Amino acid sequence: MTARVGVVTFPGSLDDGDAARAVRIAGAEPVRLWHGDPDLHGVDAVVLPGGFSYGDYLRCGAIARFAPVMETLVDAARGGLPVLGICNGFQILCEAHLLPGALTRNQHLHFRNRDQVLRIETVATAWTNAFQPGQEVLIPVKNGEGCYVADAATLDQLEAEGRVVARYVGGNPNGSQRDIAAITNSAGNVVGIMPHPEHAVEALTGPSLDGLGFFTSVLKHLVGAPA
């Protein structure tokens, strides 16, 4: 049976179509979810895509966190549903307290759009099990508020528990503390990543096919998950 992966659209979402396409290329069925509808329609996993939800008013992700779909999603994620937040989706996950820390304005105060090398630090998540520990991948990054920050105790805890999912290599594009590009929750089912793996799934349009591994990982995870 084909896995069904939901992709949420908020007002101002930019990359929801790209995320749905990546899900399809990976071999799953993308299911479009609407911010105003709390029903997750029985999906097996969810992607919160990049963009500028609600125009980034107040703070990036601060309003989206209160969308009806998020009320259901937060409970489902705490119950084990795999959730991937990309860029703005990462910001929303932090605002919803599914992940610790926050994403703030890039330290250099400029928007950054470039192909970025990342090092995969852990494969013990629902979204990275298709990689090898220490594997370097090339994924586009495009953000103005992608600087990951947290207090020292939180950063130390993330490191000690192996919850740093990926780090920037060859230059930090936004000043994120400890070069952090992606993190996970303690259960490994929720991952937030600032770069855009959905833009690296086809040779025609991406710098590599490296992003596809995030989407095939969740299918592998679902196959092995208990019924």
Whether 161 is a known active-site residue: answer no
Under 8 Å between Cβ of 5 and 32:
no
Under 8 Å between Cβ of 215 and 151:
no
Under 8 Å between Cβ of 73 and 79:
no
Pairing of strands 147-149, 190-193: unpaired
CB environment 163-172: b (16+ within 10 A), e (fewer): bbbbbbeeeb
How far is it, in rounded angstroms, from Cα 15 to Cα 70? 18
Whether 110 is a known active-site residue: answer no
- Of the residues 35, 147, 198, 199, only one is catalytic, namely 198
- Of the residues 35, 196, 199, 221, only one is catalytic, namely 196
For residue 189, CA distances in Å to 59, 65, 142, 171, 194 come to 25, 18, 24, 28, 17
For residue 219, CA distances in Å to 34, 87, 136, 177 come to 22, 21, 21, 31
Whether 94 is a known active-site residue: answer no
The residues annotated as belonging to the active site are: 87, 196, 198
